Chains A and B, each alone.
Chain A
Amino acid sequence: MQDIVFRSEVDGNDYQRAGEASRHTKSALKRLGLPPEIIRRVGVCMYEGEINMVIHADGGTATLTVGIDKIVIELKDHGPGIPDIDLAMQEGWSTANTEAQTLGFGAGMGLPNMKRSSDEFKIDTVVGEGTTVTMTIYIK
């Protein structure tokens, strides 16, 4: 059986539509009858990753690969990169600007929640080139 791949471009200028990609994929996953807890975790990872690409990286590409035993979420952008990953991973740490904060983003909980919600979590980042966050969730 082949994997199902969902790919969506996330627009970095559209705060209003931030979260759309995770909405669409979640609704597709619900059609597969995966356990609700898995869908919820995928939703959190994808949503937070999508928001990060919008508020910190001027957009990017979200790819969700659904296999029979695992789901892999990849969020790839060509934004500024993350200079200090340990700092970025700290709960409450945020460099979000006031515009993002006014809209309710920038609580500094995104990355920690993504890590908590996934079974495997990896950040590849190069300052000035971009960031790729890859998360794996196993379907038991």
Chain B
Amino acid sequence: MRTHSVKIDKSKCVGCTTCIKACPNEAIRVRERKAKILDQRCIDCGVCISICPHGAIRSFHAKRDILEKYKYTVVLPDQALFGQFTKVRDPNVILTALLDIGFDAVCEPAASAELIAQFAILDSANGSAKEEPTISSCCPTILRLIRMRFSDLIPQVVDTVIPIEHAAMIARDKAVLDTGLDPKDIGVIAIVPCPSQITEAIQPETLNESVIDDCIPIVDIYSELDAAIRKVTEPKKLSRTGRRGLTHGYSGGEATARKAYNFMAVDGIQNCIRMLEEIENGNIPEADYIELNACTCGCVGGSLCVGNPFNAKLRIKKMLSPLPEYGCSYDLSEEARERIQATKELEYLPAFLLDEDRSMAYEKLTMIHEIRRMLPGIDCGSCGAPSCNAFAEDIVQGKSKYTDCVFRRNKE
């Protein structure tokens, strides 16, 4: 069973069909006047959360009181968090405030991002890079999209873990060493910009088992953290991150950190889809690294962030200038390399497959074509499907009835 963290609040949903067309993966239907997310199709991009005019789509995640579940907690602040607060120029202020509101330790995903980037630089110097153009693995939504719709591009995706997951592994080991506690009593908690990372924590794309215990959306912790930030007078020297790590908060940061000068950074899910189509067509001869972020501006544009992503990006940029290139000197041993390596290969997900049996699939596609010809083709959405084509597919799959189309109903 695939899981995803985006859920409909039925009490708020009025069945207006706004979301079904906005979803880039045709993953929402309206049935009996309520929106329903198709589990197999949702890539957790969060577009529906941002677009629903009734606030009826939410991400499903841990509550703030989870801290009490553990004897010791380590917080992993996503890079996007650093762009959320006005007038904060020192990452240490935010990290100190995180301890002040109750976490026992911090571990920065940005430092993991720096380590991964350093290995990438080594690899490209050795010429041991991947098939070109190489596609970044930093956004879990993009990985899911590739698995469902662009599986032929899987060999081009880098096979390293997502920085926040690397940070989680490091954090737990260190916490066990520092406290002597049972790993079960240690909570490794991520503060995340998007539902995509919540799902990633539950069902990782590049790891065999999950390494993050709980996630808190940025928007849920924002006010409390903002208040704590205002009270910080003497920030503790906690940050181990330099410019190369923190830039990962916005689009283009990852590619820059890897010194992939000949890169393209694409942001926004529709742009990413278009770019993947182009790569598939063999039409990207000019770039050798392609960074894809589902959200506008990258993670600062995540649907669980606060405010305007362009502001957040500017704030991070300002924070970067006084920082060193790298926050610390990294362990570049073989052992360290193994830890950044994905332990699970990306596999094709048959979310759009009509039938396991090829000849049955052919038959269904033929039927879809025939039904499609009898529909008005105006994609009005009143049947509950995002397009006449998707509706025809739903009929053939036995999930909708012909008479759900108002035009057909009027004719009959």
Q: Which residues of A come within 8 Å of B, CB atoms?
A: 1-2, 4, 19, 22-23, 26-28, 30-34, 36-37, 39-40, 43-44, 47-48, 66, 68, 104, 107, 113
Contact = CB atoms under 8 A, between A and B. Distances in A.
A1 B363 contact: yes
Given A19-B281, A30-B149, A36-B348, A4 B361 contact: no
B359 interface: yes
A107 B285 contact: yes
B356 A33 contact: yes
B328 interface: no
A23 B354 CA distance: 18
B350 A33 contact: yes
Nearest to A23: B277
What are the 10 A-B residue pairs with the smallest beta carbon separation, nearest first?
A36-B152, A47-B281, A40-B152, A32-B361, A31-B354, A33-B353, A36-B151, A44-B282, A31-B352, A43-B280
Contacts of A4: 362, 365-366, 369
Given A32-B353, A33-B354, A33-B358, 19 more contacts: A4-B362, A4-B366, A19-B277, A19-B281, A23-B277, A26-B277, A27-B352, A30-B149, A30-B352, A31-B354, A32-B362, A33-B350, A33-B361, A34-B358, A36-B348, A39-B152, A40-B280, A48-B281, A68-B359
Contacts, number: 62
Q: How large is the interface on B (under 10, 10 to 19, 20 to 34, 35 or more residues)?
A: 20 to 34
A34 B348 CA distance: 12
A133 to B, nearest CB: 16
B410 interface: no
A115 to B, nearest CB: 13
A125 to B, nearest CB: 23
Interface string B145-184: 0000101101000000000000000000000000000000
Nearest to A66: B362
Interface of A (DSSP majority class): helix
A66 B361 CA distance: 12
Interface in B271-328: 277, 280-283, 285
A72 to B, nearest CB: 15
Contacts of B350: 33
B133 to A, nearest CB: 14
A5 B92 CA distance: 62
A113 B362 contact: no
Given A4-B369, A30-B149, A36-B348, A22 B281 contact: yes
B280 A2 contact: no
A23 to B, nearest CB: 6
B280 A68 contact: no
Nearest to B350: A33
Nearest to A116: B282
Nearest to B355: A33
B352 A26 contact: no
Nearest to A139: B358
Interface string B324-341: 000000000000000000
Nearest to B152: A36
Nearest to B155: A36
A138 B363 CA distance: 19
B52 to A, nearest CB: 26
A32 B365 CA distance: 8
The CB with the most chain B CB atoms within 10 A, among A2, A19, A30, A37, is that of A30
16 contacts: A4-B362, A19-B277, A30-B352, A31-B352, A31-B365, A32-B354, A32-B362, A33-B353, A36-B154, A36-B348, A39-B152, A40-B280, A44-B282, A47-B281, A66-B362, A68-B358
B393 to A, nearest CB: 8
Nearest to B282: A44
Contact of A47 (B283, B356, B365): B283
